[in-house]
Copies of this chain bind each other. A is one copy, B any other.
C-alpha cells in the first residue's frame, strides 16, 4: 500500500518507519514545518513532501493515511481522508471531544474504508500476552484492575502544545489517560459508572497534570486508574485481578524500565502463588505490529473497524471526568 503521513513529528516518524518495515511505501509526507517534512521524506525512499495536508490525503496514488498531527487536526484530517476514499490510521485520542469524534464516526460509517485508532499499547508484547492469558481463562473471571501511568515532563513542558487546551483538548488525562482507559475497557468491557477528578498540581498550565479515575462495569468490576505528568520516575503499571490469579504488567522499555509481565497463579492451598515472569528487553515493536494488524484489517475488507468506537468510549470517560472536576 502507499501511505501519506500527515504530521512529521516524533510519532509521524515512528509510523513512517513502521510503514516501511511492514513492506509498504510512503508516497508523501506533510507537515506545517517544511523542513521537518523534507527530513522525513529523505528517509523514505520515493517519498515526496508538502506543507499542504489536503493535497497529501487526496493524492490518487495514496491508499491509506496516517494522521499523526497534534490533537486539533486529528478529526478534520481523518474526515478529509475518509471522504477521499482512503483508509486511515489516526493517532489516539482521534479527536479532542466526543462531539468531534461523533462527526468522524458519522462520516466513516458512510464510507467503505477502515479507520483505526493508534492505541499502540495494545500491541506491546506484555499486554498481548496478558490478553492471551485472560482469554485462555487462566485468571478466571476478572475482579478489578489497577493502572498507573506517568512521566515527569521536562523543562518547559508547560509551554508545549499539550498544555494548550485549544490544541490538545485537555492535559494528562487526554494524553496518557486514554491509553489506560482503552486498556482497562479492553480487559473489562464497558464502564457504566465513571467517577474521578482531574487536577493541576505542579505545571503552570491551564490543563490537568494528574487524573484519578474510578470506572465500574455493570457487574461492579472496578478500573482504578491514575495518570500523571508529575511522575518523577517514569512509570507504567497495570495489575489485573481474577478469581484465580493476578497479572502484573510493568514497564514499556526505555525510561519506563524493561517491559515485563508476571503471572501469579493461585494454588488450591492458597498461600504464595505460582509465579512466572516474562521479560521483553527488545526494542519496541508495537508500531510494526499495529501496522501489520492495520494491513490485515484493510485486506480482508471488513467494512468498518472498531477503532473509532473504542476511541469514543475513552473520550466519553475523559469528558465525564473533566465535567466532574469542574464541580
Which of B199, B216, B241 contacts A220 (CB under 8 A)?
A: B199
Q: Mark A275-300, 1 if CB is under 8 A from B, else 0.
A: 11111111000000000000000000
CA distance A231 to B224 in the complex (A): 14
CB pair B201 A154 closer than 8 Å: no
Cβ of A210 within 8 Å of any chain B Cβ, yes or no, is yes
Q: Say if the beta carbon of A134 comes within 8 Å of chain B.
A: no
Partner-binding segment picked from A57-65, A77-85, A145-153:
A145-153
Q: How many copies of the chain does the oligomer comprise?
A: 4
Q: Establish whether residues A246 and B232, one from each chain, have CB atoms under 8 Å apart when the complex forms.
A: yes
Q: Nearest chain B CB to A284's CB is how many angstroms away? A: 12
A218 within 8 A of B: no
Interface string of A208-251 (1 = CB under 8 A from B): 00101010100011101010101111000000010101101000
- Give the residues in chain B near A152, CB-CB below 8 Å: 266, 270-271, 273
Choose from B153, B216, B270, B276 the contact partner of A155 (Cβ within 8 Å). Answer: B270
Asked if A135 CB lies within 8 Å of chain B CBs, one says no
Contact of A224 among B153, B226, B280 (CB under 8 A): B226
Q: Give the size of the chain A interface in residues (CB under 8 angstroms).
A: 50
A106 at the interface (CB under 8 A from B): no
A246 to B148, CA, bound (A): 15
Interface status of A196 (Cβ within 8 A of chain B)? yes
Residues in B neighbouring A304, C-beta threshold 8 A? none
Whether the pair A202, B232 counts as a contact (CB closer than 8 A) is: no
Check A98 for interface membership: any CB of B closer than 8 A: no
